[in-house]
């Protein structure tokens, strides 16, 4: 839900759209995510026939390959002559590869998750510093925004993730 509301808003924000509108946070994927979680939590999923689940499962299976294709096409179309501002790169890098993993490792350590499941704790520490989702490119393509800047930023984030993931796993293993 955060990705498809605030993530979408900030990913597609341009210089001329600084005026905040609450309706910009509401997107079809956000509504689908919330509705799906509510259906499962309420227990209504037991009453939905398989004829509904099968097409949804088929579409869901195609989502990641299609998003990856769109990501590759976008990254292939970016110019290496135009890069985001250094301040933007630093902000995004610090949030994505320092702040979020620090919070995750702190939560995992505080709740002693490694005592219950070492593999799950290590998985969460890796996920906290993994490369950004391909959905960001899909959002920029669908809702507008600077595809050149987002593509360049994503490329930098993928290379940074190659370094950040082993460092955070090594840190996690050293404190547990």
* Cβ 132 vs Cβ 154: under 8 Å: yes
Report the phi/psi class of residue 145: left, alpha or beta, with left for phi > 0 and alpha for psi in -120 to 50: left
Q: In whole angstroms, what separates CA 93 from the centre of its chain?
A: 14
Q: For 20-30, what is each residue's pLDDT tens digit?
A: 778 878 888 88
Helices vs strands, H then E, count in the chain: 9, 0
What secondary structure does DSSP assign to 145-161, as a single string? --HHHHHHHHHHHHHHH
What pLDDT was estimated at residue 147? 83
Q: Give residue 67's pLDDT band: very low, low, confident or very high (50, 70, 90).
A: confident
Average of per-residue pLDDT values in the chain: 87
What pLDDT was estimated at residue 156? 92
| Distance in angstroms (rounded) separating the CA atoms of residues 164 and 95 | 12
Q: For 90-146, what is each residue's pLDDT tens digit?
A: 998 999 999 999 999 999 999 999 999 999 999 999 999 998 777 777 788 788 888
Residue 63 has pLDDT above 60, yes or no: yes
Gyration radius (Cα) of the chain, Å:
19
Which range of 10-14, 77-81, 104-108 scores highest in mean pLDDT? It is 104-108
* Cβ 49 vs Cβ 55: under 8 Å: no
């Amino acid at each position: 839900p955060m990705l498809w509301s605030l993530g979408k808003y900030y990913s597609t924000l341009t210089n001329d759209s600084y005026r905040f509108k609450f309706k910009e946070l509401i997107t079809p994927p956000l509504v689908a995510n919330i509705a799906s979680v509510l259906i499962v939590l309420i227990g209504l999923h037991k009453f939905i026939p398989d004829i509904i689940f099968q097409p949804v499962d088929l579409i869901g299976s195609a989502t990641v390959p299609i998003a990856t294709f769109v990501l590759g096409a976008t990254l292939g179309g970016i110019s290496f002559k135009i890069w985001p501002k250094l301040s933007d790169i630093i902000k995004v890098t610090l949030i994505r590869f320092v702040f979020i993993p620090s919070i995750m490792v702190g939560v995992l350590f505080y709740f002693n998750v490694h005592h219950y499941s070492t593999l799950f704790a290590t998985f969460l520490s890796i996920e906290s510093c993994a490369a950004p989702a391909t959905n960001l490119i899909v959002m920029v393509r669908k809702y507008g925004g600077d595809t050149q800047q987002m593509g360049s930023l994503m490329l930098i984030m993928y290379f940074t993730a190659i370094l950040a993931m082993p460092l955070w796993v090594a840190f996690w293993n050293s404190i547990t």
